[in-house]
Amino acid sequence: MTERNGRTGTSWVVLLGAGLAIASALLLLAAPLGYRLGVFSLRLALLTLLRWGAYLAIGAAAVSLVGLIITLARPKGSRRGFLLAAVSLVFTAAMVAVPARFRMGPPAPPIHDITTDTRDPPEYVAVLPLRADAPNTTEYGGERVAAQQRNAYPDLQPAILKVPPPQAFERALAAVREMGWHLVEANAAAGRIEATDTTFWFGFKDDVVIRVRPTDGGSRVDVRSLSRVGGGDAGTNAKRIRTYLELLTQQDRTGEST
């Protein structure tokens, strides 16, 4: 009879790795779900549950790797548990990508208000009632924030479109819709578009305002993205603006290359 944890059975190391993988998955799922349901505070969900879920996932990956090596070292006919170890290793490696989205990668400054015009940031109007209970205000932090942004995201600049403002406004509005943001207001007379983007995991609400102004030979489009909660945004607002500007200027780049 084959023993479950014996020489020819599934290694206890493999089983431990699988158990840790399940536990880390539960923690990583509980963090955003609990925050969305109002059960956990942002601090508890993001800084405690998500962090320990990541640590557990890394540990599970390491244990699963050891289990995989032990299993491969056995004779071919007794490599029971190989598939479980392999699946646990791949699964935990994928799970680490969830907290890595918030905690790893290039260091981001502890700011949550990003704009292509730090001297005269576009102002929010229509979204103000939606932010009535938001911890973060729409008042720009001035040079303190601007200096950190310039150091971290020097590539963020306004888009210059070679079309008149009315046409630029329509292109800017079309890009907002293509981004999948919730449109709050499109004021063509003021050259202002306001929208809200909701993040996938935690459901954070970040507000975007786009301003279109005439410039020599065309239009200047400035973008500002501001988080409602959190001291830092892990680079989310800068990435959102960058993606939007790439989409907005795609037509100009295509025309230049043809």
Helix (H) or strand (E) holding 34: helix 12-36
Q: Which CATH number fits domain 113-257: 3.30.530.50, 3.80.10.10, 3.40.190.10, 3.40.390.10?
A: 3.30.530.50
> What per-residue confidence (pLDDT) applies to 203?
86
Please state the rounded mean pLDDT for residues 175-194: 98
**55 vs 240 pLDDT, higher one:** 240
Tokens of 180: 């999948």
- Give 76's pLDDT tier (boundaries 50, 70, 90): confident
Q: Is the pLDDT of residue 6 over 50?
A: no
Q: Where are the domains of the chain?
A: 12-103, 113-257
For residue 209, give the nearest of 191, 220, 198, 194 by alpha carbon: 194
> What per-residue confidence (pLDDT) applies to 22?
93
Q: Per residue, what are the HEC states of 84-101?
A: HHHHHHHHHHHHHHHHHH
Asked which of 84-88, 124-128, 168-172 is least confident by mean pLDDT, the reply is 84-88
CA distance 222 to 110: 22
> What per-residue confidence (pLDDT) applies to 42?
79
- Predicted structure pTM score: 0.77
Beta carbons of 127 and 207 less than 8 angstroms apart = yes
Beta carbons of 232 and 108 less than 8 angstroms apart = yes
Instruction: Give the contacts of 15 (CB within 8 A, at least 6 positions apart).
Output: 5, 67, 81, 84
